[in-house]
Structure 1
Amino acid sequence: MSLIRLTRRAAFGLFGATLLAGVAPASAQTVIRIAVTPGPHAQILEAVKPIAAKKGIELKIIEFSDYVVPNQALDAGEIEANSFQNQPYLDNQVKDRGYKIVPVGLTVNFPLGIYSKKYKSWAEVPDGAKIAIQNDPTNGGRSLLLLQDKGVIKLKPGVGYKPTVLDIADNPKRLQFIEIDAAQTPRALDDVAAAAINTNYATQAGLDPVKDPILKEDPKGPYVNLLAVRAADKDKPWVKELVAAYQTPEVKAFVLEKFKGAVLPAW
């Protein structure tokens, strides 16, 4: 059974239990199901949860292990919000899949890193080495832009934020790029010279996003993460309250203390 169906059953069960208890749903807190990826996004939402409760919102945090299902579930109405993606990724999803999903507030930034189990610095990576990058246009393109920024490769002019390996104009070290699912990049470290790994997956794999990368992205740029909802819901009162609960001094302090610079508040 799919996670989306399980989510639906859980929601109906909650609704039914409320009715059986003789309490009208309107008298309870507003229940908001919000999808996250495991790791920092989920941990941060746990810190948001008690703040949201004071604003009349009961957060039901649902973890998905990839970057595809959270938008599918949101667009299908199985959840009310998600917190896992940046603007370029959302733009790509909306363009490719026709989702009516919009951003409503900035959350945090996860500077991307290039990691290696075999080499302690990028200078040690040999010519012709295999480098794993994400196979989705946004994250894979982000990794290529990082490598260009560090002088490893050159991309064709005008490629924007979603270049592919076909847009590489100059590759002096003759690197071989292996494109795999973003969630699998930490597992690839045993088989490649280095891998571009998103911070949430790096922390899940026990990597230190501050100390371990042999190359690291500049934290400035378009890759700030965001809260997203369906376009039809964007003006509902609970959306404003959810954003306000997230963008608090308490949550900012939690992020800075918990992640020690691996995750940065963006508000």
Structure 2
Amino acid sequence: MKKLLSFLVLSLMVIILAACGASEESKTEDTNANEGTENTETENTETTEPTKLVVGASNGLHDLILEQAQPLLAEEGIELEIVPYQDYVLPNEHLESGDLDANYFQHIPYLEDEIAQKGYDFVNAGGIHVEPIGIYSQEYASLDELPDGATIIISNSVTDQGRILSLLEVEGLIKLDPDVEKTIATIDDIVENPKNLVIDNSSAPEMLVTYYEEGEGDAVVINSNFAIDAGINPLEDSIAIEGSESKYVNVIAVRAEDKDNAAIKKLVEVLRTKEIQDFIVNEWKGAVVPVSE
């Protein structure tokens, strides 16, 4: 009888232990399943951070064009931060230092000169627009009215001077040495000056608007970005303006190491879309001309 009783007790304990083991195993499985679900939910809720581009741009024109591109780039997963500048020096310095991923303010000859003079390892990632350079005067309504010995104030930027002198030649005011490349021509390359014009090339580009507004000189040659920023309409207020066939295309400049960067390529692609080009045309009525390649 005692043996039977011991056997029954032992059997009951085995059943209870087995049940407890099954219960713990079930709890473990449920916990693992829940953890797996939580991990899956966490993975599903994680979002990819947008690629960020920091681009320096001239204030009042280039930055406005970039602002139009911001929502289009956001749709492509690119966050565009725009850093405005008032000068032509810092944007390249900050690009070299890595403070910027790209800049948008300079034309091709200026970029090439900066690379040659300062050793920047930059490349042109793509052209976006041309800003026709204009000649302005408070006193005269046309270049034909300029008197003998008139003073024309121009930029002291070496790359601007070749462009300005080419415009003066196109307008019939001077002739340049035909053996000199137009983009690098200087005052010394003038071979004919029938009106004995005095060409003052001592002024910083950003000061030319002030000289024009104060009536300095008989005429002042101003880059369109500075003119527009000051509320001057290049098409209506200039007495002569560069044609749209200009070689001075404004570009996106980047460090050479980033020339194949996908976000940079997308930036250029967006800036060349019809939406952005239409904005440029409508906003500046021909004073800024978009390019497609």
**Equivalents in 1 of 2:152, 2:100: separation in Å?**
36
Corresponding residue for 2:257? 232
AA matched with 1:114: I
**Equivalents in 1 of 2:172, 2:141: separation in Å?**
18
Corresponding residue for 2:165? 144
Identity value in percent: 40
Corresponding residue for 1:115? 136
AA matched with 1:204: D
Deviation at 1:102, TM superposition (A): 0.4
Corresponding residue for 1:73? 94
Corresponding residue for 1:4? none
1:85 aligns with 2:106: yes
- Equivalent residue for 2:277, pick from 252, 257, 260: 252
1:176 aligns with 2:198: yes
**Equivalents in 2 of 1:35, 1:48: separation in Å?**
14
AA matched with 2:79: E
- Equivalent residue for 1:47, pick from 68, 77, 94: 68
Gapped regions of structure 1 (runs ≥ 5) = 1-25
AA matched with 2:108: Q
**Equivalents in 2 of 1:133, 1:247: separation in Å?**
31
Deviation at 1:203, TM superposition (A): 0.9
**Equivalents in 2 of 1:253, 1:191: separation in Å?**
36
Deviation at 1:34, TM superposition (A): 0.5
Greater per-residue helix proportion: 2
Deviations 1:221-244 (A, max 9, x none): 311111111000111111111112
Corresponding residue for 1:206? 231
**Equivalents in 2 of 1:52, 1:87: separation in Å?**
25
SS in 2 for 1:105: strand
Gapped regions of structure 2 (runs ≥ 5) = 1-46
SS in 1 for 2:237: coil
Corresponding residue for 1:56? 77
AA matched with 1:247: R
**Equivalents in 1 of 2:93, 2:159: separation in Å?**
17
Deviation at 1:144, TM superposition (A): 0.6
**Equivalents in 1 of 2:73, 2:271: separation in Å?**
8
Corresponding residue for 1:103? 124
User: How big is the alpha-carbon RMSD for the aligned residues of Structure 1 and Structure 2?
Assistant: 1.2
Corresponding residue for 2:289? 264
SS in 2 for 1:226: strand
SS in 1 for 2:196: coil
**Equivalents in 2 of 1:88, 1:158: separation in Å?**
18
**Equivalents in 1 of 2:231, 2:146: separation in Å?**
22
- Equivalent residue for 1:197, pick from 219, 222, 238: 222
Deviation at 1:69, TM superposition (A): 1.3
**Equivalents in 1 of 2:87, 2:189: separation in Å?**
26
Segments of 4+ moved more than 2 angstroms: none
SS in 2 for 1:132: strand
**Equivalents in 1 of 2:170, 2:131: separation in Å?**
17
Deviations 1:181-235 (A, max 9, x none): 1111111112111111000001122211111111111110311111111000111
**Equivalents in 2 of 1:90, 1:55: separation in Å?**
28
- The alignment's TM-score, normalised by the length of structure 2, stands at 0.80
Bigger Rg over Cα: 2
Deviation at 1:27, TM superposition (A): 3.6
1:28 aligns with 2:49: yes
